[in-house]
């Protein structure tokens, strides 16, 4: 199975600040079809996960441009700029290139 | 508007079978893949398995021997069955729609919290 390693485990940020979350996979996430199925999700307290970014850098419908994804191969990053209160929760990276699909353990974003 | 809603028992006895239904609206299960993802209390996400739009299935190998995913296209429903439940199967079970390009989940249900306990 592809192991997804997220760092850090938790982050404290001031409102309006910027943060980066790293996600590293144990194998390349480049699919045979040339796509890289790395996605980012936010799970707010008591809610289901919601999609933020798919295929490394594509923002899902309605997602603010304060969220940006980058990376390739095995190393990926989610950046959040001008952090707002509604951004708080647990962020997960996930891979859909190889079965079984797997997720990182999560990064908890909290207010400083 | 895309919606997914899980329904099923909140409490299941050890060694028994879990049956959860995902009722979707706003899209057809014959047009998009649907996966099941579960989350133990306070922990991360685990992909359980998927039913592809063509009707075939794939399962997490760690759970495969206990799993069955099926669907009723006339009712736009997807079903999860997991047998021989143990306490570490306790958690929230989500169904999720795959995005247009497959390997990610763009819409999730609210989840159903299942406790395995006698």
pLDDT in tens, A49-96: 999 999 999 999 999 999 999 999 999 999 999 999 999 999 999 999
Q: What is the CA radius of gyration of chain B?
A: 13
Given the DSSP bridges, would you call strands B3-7 and B18-25 parallel, antiparallel or unpaired? antiparallel
Pick the residue from chain A with its C-alpha nearest to B48. A100
A54 close contact with B: CB closer than 8 A: yes
A57 close contact with B: CB closer than 8 A: no
B34 close contact with A: CB closer than 8 A: no
Q: How far apart are CA B2 and CA B108, in angstroms?
A: 9
Pick the residue from chain A with its C-alpha nearest to B102. A96
pLDDT of residue B48: 98
pLDDT of residue A68: 98
CB B38 within 8 A of CB B115: no
Q: How far apart are CA B60 and CA B35, in angstroms?
A: 11
| Omega prior to A10 cis, within 30 of 0 | no
Is the pLDDT confidence value at A15 over 90?
yes
Q: How far apart are CA B106 and CA A39, in angstroms?
A: 10
B113 close contact with A: CB closer than 8 A: no
Mean pLDDT of A25-54: 97
Cβ separation A37–B103 shorter than 8 A = yes
Cβ separation A37–B105 shorter than 8 A = no
CB A71 within 8 A of CB A79: no
| Omega prior to A8 cis, within 30 of 0 | yes
Cβ separation A94–B104 shorter than 8 A = yes
Could you tell me what percent of chain A has a pLDDT over 90? 98
Q: Tell the burial category of A104 from Cβ atoms under 10 Å away from its Cβ (0-12, 13-18, 19+).
A: buried
Q: How far apart are CA B106 and CA B97, in angstroms?
A: 6
pLDDT of residue B102: 80
Closest in B58, B106, B107 to A99, CB measured: B58
Closest in B47, B99, B109 to A101, CB measured: B47
Q: How far apart are CA B54 and CA A19, in angstroms?
A: 41
CA distance B10 to chain A (A): 17
B26 close contact with A: CB closer than 8 A: no
Nearest in space to A86 (alpha carbons), one of A72, A66, A102, A59: A66
pLDDT of residue B101: 81
| Positions of chain B with pLDDT under 50 | none
Determine the residue among A35, A50, A100, A103 to mutate to test chain B binding: the one whose Cβ has the most chain B Cβ atoms within 10 Å: A100
**Locus of tokens 């940020």:** A13
**Locus of tokens 């919606």:** B3
Cβ separation A54–B106 shorter than 8 A = yes
Given the DSSP bridges, would you call strands A38-43 and A49-54 parallel, antiparallel or unpaired? antiparallel
Is the pLDDT confidence value at A42 over 90?
yes
- Say how many CB pairs under 8 Å bridge A and B: 63
């Amino acid at each position: 199975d592809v192991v997804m390693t997220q760092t850090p485990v938790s982050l404290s940020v001031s409102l309006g600040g910027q943060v980066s979350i790293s996600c590293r996979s144990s194998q390349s996430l480049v699919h045979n079809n040339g796509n890289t199925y790395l996605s980012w999700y936010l799970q707010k307290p008591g809610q289901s996960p919601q999609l933020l970014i798919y295929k490394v850098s594509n923002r899902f419908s309605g997602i603010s441009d304060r969220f940006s994804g980058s990376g390739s191969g095995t190393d990926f990053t989610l950046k959040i700029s001008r952090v707002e209160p509604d951004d708080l929760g647990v962020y997960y990276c996930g891979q859909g290139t190889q079965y079984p699909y797997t997720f990182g353990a999560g990064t908890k974003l909290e207010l400083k | 508007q895309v919606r997914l809603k899980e329904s099923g028992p909140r409490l299941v006895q050890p060694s028994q079978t879990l049956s959860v239904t995902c009722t979707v609206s706003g899209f057809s299960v014959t047009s998009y893949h649907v996966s099941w993802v579960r989350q133990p209390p306070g922990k991360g996400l685990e992909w359980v398995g998927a039913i592809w739009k063509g009707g075939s299935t794939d399962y997490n190998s760690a759970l495969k021997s206990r799993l069955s995913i099926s669907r009723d296209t006339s009712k736009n429903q997807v079903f999860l069955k997991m047998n021989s439940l143990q306490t570490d199967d306790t958690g929230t079970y989500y169904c999720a729609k795959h995005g247009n390009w497959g390997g990610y989940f763009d819409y999730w249900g609210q989840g159903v919290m299942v406790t395995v306990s006698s």
